């Protein structure tokens, strides 16, 4: 499927989803391209787009979701004898982002899967929890380890692994989750499934610590 067709198909599906649930749909929203300084927005790449935007309330909690498009790499193919460019190939990365509004602000927190090929996270430290296996699978991105110790309690860590919520962040009163769709597009049923998981995650965040 071509890039343009993929974007068009995503917008079509998201518009139908929004209509079904009484939510709002926008085909694009440039203001979300740099609204948060977390993954995937801190990754390299031009041609940055936010498309397939759905906003509304999920079980009373305000949310939005959209796809973030960027071009991190262009490969140029040249003639070996003349050095003349014969063709070029764009590498395009599209990640789906969910943002859910929290009932109160929390300190900055960001955790990422250590094996996600779409993100450059090798240079970041592992969490320092009592679970070495968990630590090996994750990286803390710009996060105070003391803050991480409150976020990463055993119940939340187990939940992350069980439901595969691997790369997420808290910025102020926004809970953000980002995922690279394996088969090119995040379908409407996956949007709904993830919203349900994020609602559960909200209930595990340590609001009582910073009241």
User: If you search the block for the tokens 């969910």, which residue do you land on?
Assistant: 98
User: What's the pLDDT score for residue 164?
Assistant: 93
More confident of the two residues 57 and 74: 57
Q: Which residues pair with 175 in a beta bridge?
A: 100, 170
More confident of the two residues 111 and 4: 111
Query: pLDDT tens across 66-86, in order?
Result: 999 887 654 455 656 667 665
Prior bond of 40 cis (ω within 30°): yes
Residues in the chain: 211
How open is the CA angle 92-93-97, to the nearest 5 degrees?
Answer: 145
Q: Which residues pair with 109 in a beta bridge?
A: 170
CA distance 179 to 40: 9
Which of 1-5, 18-22, 70-74 is most confident? 18-22
Query: pLDDT tens across 129-143, in order?
Result: 999 999 999 999 999
Residue 177 pLDDT exceeds 50: yes
Host domain of residue 154: 3-75+84-210
Alpha carbon 10 to chain centroid distance?
A: 16
Radius of gyration of the chain (CA): 19
Residue 186 pLDDT exceeds 70: yes
Q: How many domains does the chain have?
A: 1
Q: Is 46 exposed, middle or buried (0-12, 13-18, 19+ CB in 10 A)?
A: exposed
Residue 52's closest CA among 72, 73, 74, 23? 23
Residue 6 pLDDT exceeds 60: yes
The span from the first CA to the last CA of the chain, in angstroms, equals 49
């Amino acid at each position: 499927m071509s890039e343009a067709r993929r974007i068009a198909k995503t917008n079509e599906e998201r518009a139908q989803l929004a209509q079904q649930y009484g939510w709002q749909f926008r085909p694009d929203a440039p203001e979300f391209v740099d609204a948060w300084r977390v993954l995937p927005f801190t990754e390299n790449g031009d041609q940055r787009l936010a498309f397939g935007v759905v906003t509304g309330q999920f079980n009373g909690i305000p949310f939005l979701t959209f796809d973030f498009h960027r071009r991190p790499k262009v490969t140029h193919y040249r003639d070996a004898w003349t050095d003349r460019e014969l063709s070029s190939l764009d590498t395009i990365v599209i990640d789906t982002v969910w943002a859910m509004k929290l009932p109160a602000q929390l300190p900055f927190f960001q955790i990422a899967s250590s094996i996600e090929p779409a993100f450059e996270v090798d240079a970041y430290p592992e969490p320092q929890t009592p679970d070495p296996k968990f630590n090996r699978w994750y990286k803390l991105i710009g996060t105070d380890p003391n803050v991480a110790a409150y976020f990463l309690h055993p119940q939340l860590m187990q939940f992350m692994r069980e439901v595969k919520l691997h790369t997420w962040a808290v910025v102020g009163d926004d809970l953000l989750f980002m995922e690279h769709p394996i088969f090119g597009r995040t379908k409407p049923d996956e949007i709904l499934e993830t919203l349900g998981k994020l609602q559960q995650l909200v209930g595990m965040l340590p609001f009582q610590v910073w009241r």
